[in-house]
Amino acid sequence: MKKYFPHKLTLLAILASLLFGCTPTVQAIPLIADDPNTTLEFIQNDVNIPISGSGDQWSAALKPESFTMKLKGDNAAVSVMAVKSAEIIQPLQRSSKSLVTISGTGSALALNDLFLSDQPLETYQANANNLQNVSYFSLPKEQAVSTAAALKDRFGIEPLILISGRSYLFSIPNLDKMFTVKTINGNTLQNGESIVLVIFIENKFNDPIFYALNLVTVNLKFQE
């Protein structure tokens, strides 16, 4: 998929790690390249949790108790997905194809509960056959052909279409949003538990149905 280019502050952290032999940490993850105003923070017991990593791969250590995701941004639409292991998301990270999705695949984040999936991601090649015959799309033949051609022209190659559900954190301009997670799949957070939080950032283009997605992953480890 399309590569993430880190913000200049992240690049400084990487340079510091090379010079001084330490893992770079930040207080907020920059979600959009060259946009320092769209960030994600993790807060627990009123303290910002240090986040280590760079680019599109990050990690943070939390206590096995409720935590808050604080999203700041001007106009970004951001959604999340939690998966049990990095292997589930690796096909997207390793793919050279751009990632798109369709309207209607996202939902509101459940109150204080984070859904965790252990299932493979559902994706389809954006070709005319899939756009016509897969039930998610069911486009008429002529529209399927023209849409597939337009997507290929837009991205230079047939993109992947992500169908797996995501939960929106933020879609209202100029507001900070805070979402507190108390349970995962209805269960309290467990000591020693690890999950991968996948953050999707929408990138709209001139299409009424499809929009592009960039993604950032955060490995969360819950430890006393």
pLDDT score at 89: 93
Does a structural domain hold residue 157? no
Mean pLDDT per 10-residue section of the chain, whose length is 224 residues: 48 50 76 82 95 92 94 79 92 91 78 89 95 92 94 93 84 67 92 94 81 93 94
Domain range for 77 is 39-49+56-122+163-222
Does a structural domain hold residue 23? no
Residue 75 φ/ψ, nearest 5 degrees: -140, 15
Overall domain count for the chain:
1
Q: Among positive and negative, which fits the CA dihedral 132, 137, 139, 145? A: negative
Does a structural domain hold residue 99? yes
Question: What number of other Cβ atoms are within 10 A of residue 134's Cβ?
Answer: 15
Cα 204 from Cα 139, distance rounded (Å): 20
3-state secondary structure of 160: strand
Looking up residue 74, the CATH number of its domain turns out to be: 2.60.40
Does a structural domain hold residue 21? no
Does a structural domain hold residue 199? yes
Does a structural domain hold residue 13? no
Does a structural domain hold residue 196? yes
Does a structural domain hold residue 141? no
Which residues contact residue 224 at a Cβ distance below 8 angstroms, ignoring those fewer than 6 apart? 63, 64, 191
